[in-house]
């Protein structure tokens, strides 16, 4: 059983399909039930192949309820993908700076910890794996995105700390740090042709990633093929950091 938070998003749907195609049963967790139902229809022809659970990862009780529901139904969790995340512009002089910063930290960082704590018993039972979604902004600072940059830097650090703490339980913890992925989160780059060209010019491969390309890295880190990897943050950015 693979549990994917943020499962209603573009990356979440691609990750769900990748795990399903690899033979996993899949559970999608997201805050909005209607979006989850749409994601299930989009990703799976047979709805019985996918479990959906509406939960807010920033709320520990929601995470406990979601994990318990999945374990009660399926007996175990083989992989947890902490993909739930928000991006918001966050300038230090903004009137709502603190509120936006707090929101980004509560979902992007606390959400990872909350879901990991909730799922750890099910993961220990299967000697499973956790894959967190970080960002190349854990390495560099994005413009006008203080909360996002800090939160994704924290996800990278949390990945390493959890890997050290959970290794005795037989649970591996790694992260993927994507560059720019062609999802609704970066729709502004598609709308602003000049900004899109500038962004692609900085990438060695001269294009954005598809969600499927990131999903393949996530699947690898969760699979037995990565059995000797824990505490790693794997960059998948098309060469963005080369420039």
Residues known to be catalytic: 148
DSSP3 helix / strand / coil % (the chain, rounded to 5)? 55, 15, 30
The length of the chain in residues reads 243
Report angle CA 66, 70, 71 to the nearest 5 degrees.
115
Coil, strand or helix: which one is 200?
Answer: helix
Beta bridge partners of residue 133, listed in sequence order: 176
Cα 222 from Cα 237, distance rounded (Å) = 19
Packed helices 33-43 and 10-21: angle between N→C axes, nearest 10 degrees = 40
Burial of 201 (0-12, 13-18, 19+ CB in 10 A): exposed
């Amino acid at each position: 059983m693979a549990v994917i938070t943020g499962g209603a998003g573009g990356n979440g749907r691609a990750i769900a399909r990748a795990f399903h195609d690899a033979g996993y049963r899949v559970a999608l967790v997201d805050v909005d039930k209607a979006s989850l139902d749409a994601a299930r229809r989009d990703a799976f022809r047979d709805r019985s192949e996918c479990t959906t659970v509406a939960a807010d990862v920033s709320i520990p009780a929601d995470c406990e309820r979601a994990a318990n529901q999945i374990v009660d139904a399926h007996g175990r969790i083989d992989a947890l993908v902490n993909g739930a995340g928000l991006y918001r512009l966050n300038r230090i002089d903004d009137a709502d700076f603190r509120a936006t910063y707090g929101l980004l930290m509560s979902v992007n960082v606390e959400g990872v910890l909350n879901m990991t704590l909730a799922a750890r018993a099910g993961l220990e039972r299967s000697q499973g794996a956790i894959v967190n979604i970080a960002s190349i902004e854990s390495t560099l600072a994005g413009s006008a995105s203080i909360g996002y940059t800090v939160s994704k830097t924290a996800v990278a650090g949390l990945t390493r700390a959890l890997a050290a703490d959970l290794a005795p339980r037989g649970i591996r913890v790694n992260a993927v740090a994507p560059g720019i992925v062609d999802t609704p989160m970066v729709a502004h780059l598609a709308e602003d042709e000049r900004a899109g060209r500038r962004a692609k010019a900085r990438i060695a491969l001269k294009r954005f990633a598809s969600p499927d390309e990131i999903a393949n890295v996530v699947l690898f880190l969760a699979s037995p093929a990565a059995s000797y990897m824990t505490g790693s943050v794997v960059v998948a950015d098309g060469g963005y950091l080369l420039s």
